[in-house]
A and B are shown apart, each in its own frame.
Chain A
Amino acid sequence: MNREPASEVERVVPNAFERRDPTCTQRVGDNALHLFRYARPALCFLGLLAFTAAPLHAANVNDLAAGDDGFWAQAARFASLTDPSVRYALAGALLLGLSCGLLGGFIVVRKMALVGDALSHAVLPGVAAGFLWAGTKDPLAIFVGATIAGLLGTATVSAITATTRLKEDTALGLVLTSYFALGICLLTMIQRLPNGNQSGIGTFLFGQAAALGADDIQLMAIVTTAAVGVIIAGYKELLVTSFDPGFARASGLPVGLIHHTLMFLLAAAVVIALQAVGVVLVSAMLITPAAAAYLLTDRLHRLLLLAAAFGVMSGVVGAFGSFVGHGLPTGPLMVLAASAVFAGAFLFGPRHGVAARWWRQRCQRARTRRENALKAMFHLWEEDNFGPEGVALADFAQRRRCTLEEIGVIVRELARHDFVTLDREMVYFTPAGRLRAGEIVRNHRLWELYLTESANIAPDHVHDDAERIEHVLGEATVRALERRLNYAKLDPHGKIIPSPRELHRGEHDALERPAAGGREGDRS
């Protein structure tokens, strides 16, 4: 609480604290006191509110309890499609989900997401102009006005970037806000008109699927059909101009015409979605389903189908939620549904999802842990000169610097993977375990040898790198390393590089002899 007034003082009296004026600290104290004095009644007022709100809250709960019944009744009404407004809302949601999802796919791969956002805000003055022109909420007049305004907005962006040194992001921001501000002013004026109050033109801001009528649905169907038709007929042109416009132009394709067709369809799709989703959020219906689809596939046609499916899904969920939620705005509900789909794809996508990545990392860590334990066991066995293949649990724990209980956990995990068997206090390699342990030790020593011989790194610097690399070296790389190192038998520290193939056949002699030789060499 003291910080605020202090900075206030600093602002009013520069360098107040350097001068250490006692009156300043006095004023700070005063301010704090004042604040507290005002805070007390404010707290009382809040308490009073809470008190009076309690019965209100209870009333709400009652409402909900009564509405619980109502929820299922409403849901049944929605599902039965007897209510024409339900039919319109549902058809509208389907159509807008389809057209926005499909076109959004192209918007996302063309990196034009912000263009979609600017376009959706730029249509608002056109909506108002269409209303003023027709005098009523005539869908066609509004459609024409809004489409013109949207295209004018994108033309303004192009004009600004082409003639000034401003870049596209700035131009988009400028156009988005100025057109939107103009639209809000015009809409407010319309609502003051005698016939403005019943116009329902306010739904254009946040969307109300229930406000859709037969005319609106007709228009939506026409636009969606056009969009689907153009995408099917011009799929290859849209694909190549999105991926490599320079190449497309060099091949003689009309890149400009294709771009403008797409922008026109985009403007039309935004306009038909306006009433249901609202100006503020309509760009989310373009971007979110397509973005979710992009996380799940790496082919454009699949991306478009998924985006359309996600768009339709979110649209229907939004329309349903708005219907049973007693006039909750449709737009935010649709966008929330689409965002939920995106969150699902982001978290649980099979390839790029957070959960999948976490799981892969976890598996890798577990494997590294197992392999390090196997390696330690191999070292013990090696120090025992490859004698009896058992390792005492206590020695193992000592080597891994952990307790008997902790080593027990690791050994049981190894046993689950059939790498070892546990016989009271002794751990024994299975053939598979012996092979894997030999491979890890070989990878480690091969890599150390490679680093010292080929990369001229000092032998005491190579261990840590080898610790990491030993778990990920593939069989092909190992073969290449072996060839490159002339099938060397000894690592830079004079330890033998085991040959897992011989280990597998049980030919320990091959290991023992050079090992003994190595030790003699060390002694001398």
Chain B
Amino acid sequence: MTADADAATPALEIHDLTVSYHRKPVLWGIDVAVAPGQLVGIIGPNGAGKSTLIKSCMGLLPVSGGWVKVFGKSLRDDPRRVGYVPQRESVDWDFPVSVLDVVLMGRYGRLGLGRRPGKADREAARACLDKVQLLPFANRQISNLSGGQQQRVFLARALAQEADLYFMDEPFAGVDAATEAAIIAVLRELRSAGKTILVVHHDLPTARQYFDRLLLLNMNVVAFGPTEEVFTAELLQKTYGGRLTLLSEVAQALGAGANAGGGERA
């Protein structure tokens, strides 16, 4: 219902976003507007800034310039509209929690500080686990799962967030065929429910099958559009072939200047 009301405003609007690590720019002047209800693949070579893009959209990384709006608002105003599937390697899987505990974490953002998940939250978490076919493992400790199952736990946790815009960081990395099929089924189901999904992806052949739109990224946006238009040899060559060395150098010099200026002002 909110998705209908928001039909006019983009689900995600990124304007002139610049992000640097230690003065080295990773993203440079990103301008993207994603309409609601789309399944978008973000592809590009290693170090192109794919993870950095989605992390900075969610405010997990400091940005050096530009802004990001989710359904027309700053994310800080309503973080509940965004769901997140981080990279599987980002957590310690020996952590003493059960599968259901992890999925319940998806409800924490809605609950607010100090309130505990109740029966309804538990039921919702179980339903999400069921969607990724992991309900039988709900009470297992998370290290007892295979890599693909762990990835599906993260997906179930994101489903439990009941968000409208999802960011997923390499959900298909190193998973088995069954998990890949389960994940893509869930993604399509989300899309038909009107959700917007941005997926960082590394595999070109499947990228073509899976996504409505592709965002070709290499420090800046090489192309963004419907898959059949963007998935061309020329644009892919532009994305993957050869580093944009000149831009990188100029940007670095500019970034250093901007940072130094910022330092003086502070």
Residues of A within 8 A of B (CB): 109, 111, 233-237, 239-240, 242-244, 246-254, 294, 297-300, 302-303
B95 engages A246 (CB within 8 Å): no
A243–B142 alpha-carbon span in the complex (Å):
11
Structural contact, A234 and B141, CB atoms closer than 8 A: no
Q: Is B263 an interface residue (CB 8 A)?
A: no
Q: B96-116: which residues lie under 8 A (CB-CB) from chain A?
A: 96-98, 101-102, 105-106, 108-109, 111, 113-114, 116
CA A251 to CA B160, docked complex, whole Å: 11
Task: Decide yes or no: A240 and B90 within 8 Å by CB, A109-B96, A250-B82, A252-B80 being known contacts.
Answer: no
| Contacting pair A247 B55 (CB below 8 A) | no
10 contacts between A and B (CB under 8 A): A236-B117, A237-B113, A240-B108, A243-B95, A244-B86, A249-B59, A251-B80, A251-B108, A253-B109, A299-B141
Residues of B within 8 A of A299 (CB): 96-98, 101, 141
A251 adjacent to B161 (CB under 8 Å):
yes
- With contacts A243-B92, A251-B106 known, what are 10 further pairs, Cβ within 8 A? A236-B116, A243-B95, A246-B60, A247-B86, A250-B82, A251-B108, A252-B80, A252-B109, A300-B95, A300-B101
Provide the bound-state CA to CA distance between A251 and B86, in Å: 12
Check A244–B96 contact: CB distance below 8 A.
no
**Number of A-B contacts defined by CB within 8 Å:** 86
Is B114 a contact partner of A233 (Cβ separation < 8 A)?
yes
Q: Which residues of A contact B157 (CB under 8 A)?
A: 247
Question: Whole-angstrom distance from the CB of A255 to the nearest CB of chain B?
Answer: 10
A251 contacts B113, CB within 8 Å?
no
Write out, one digit per residue, whether chain B residues 80-97 have a CB within 8 A of any chain A CB (1) or not (0): 101010100011100111
CB distance from B93 to the nearest CB of A (A): 10
**CA–CA, A253 and B106, complex, Å:** 12
- Does chain A have a CB within 8 A of B40? no
- Selected from A236, A246, A251, the residue in CB contact (under 8 A) with B55 is A246
Question: Which residue from chain B places its CB closest to the CB of A252 in the assembled complex?
Answer: B79
A244 CA to B104 CA, complexed, in Å: 13
A186 shortest CB reach to chain B, Å = 35
Q: Does B207 contact A (CB under 8 A)?
A: no
- Total residues of chain B contacting the partner, CB 8 A: 33
Tell me, in angstroms, the Cα distance from A247 to B167 when the chains sit together: 11
B98: A residues at CB distance < 8 A: 298-299
CA distance A251 to B59 in the complex (A): 11
- In the complex, what's the smallest C-beta–C-beta distance from A516 to chain B, in angstroms? 45
B97 touches A300 (CB 8 A): yes
Contact yes or no, A250 B105, CB < 8 A: no
> Which A residues lie within 8 Å of B102 (CB)?
243
In the bound complex, do residue B114 and residue A234 qualify as a contact, i.e. CB atoms below 8 Å apart?
yes
A136 to B60 CA separation, bound complex (whole angstroms): 47
B121 to chain A, nearest CB (A): 10
Given A249-B59, A250-B82, A298-B96, the answer on whether A243 and B108 have CB atoms closer than 8 Å is no
B48 within 8 A of A: no
Query: Nearest-CB distance from B84 to chain A (Å)?
Result: 4
Bound Cα distance A251, B102 (Å): 13
Residue of A233, A246, A251, A300 near B96 (CB, 8 A) is: A300
Contact B113 A234 (CB under 8 A): yes
Looking across the interface, which residue of chain A has its beta carbon closest to that of B144? A298
* Inter-chain contacts of B101 with A (CB < 8 A): 239, 299-300
Whether A246 and B86, one on each chain, are in contact in the complex, defined by CB atoms closer than 8 angstroms, is: yes
B146, chain A: closest CB distance, angstroms: 16
B132 near A: Cβ within 8 Å? no
Contact B111 A244 (CB under 8 A): no
CB atoms of A240 and B105 under 8 A apart = yes
Q: B138-150 vs A: 1/0 string, CB under 8 Å?
A: 0001010000000
Bound Cα distance from A251 to B106, whole angstroms: 8
CB nearest neighbor in A for B85: A247
Q: Min CB distance, A355 to chain B, in Å?
A: 21
| With contact pairs A243-B102, A243-B105 given, residues A109 and B95 touching in the complex (Cβ less than 8 Å) | yes
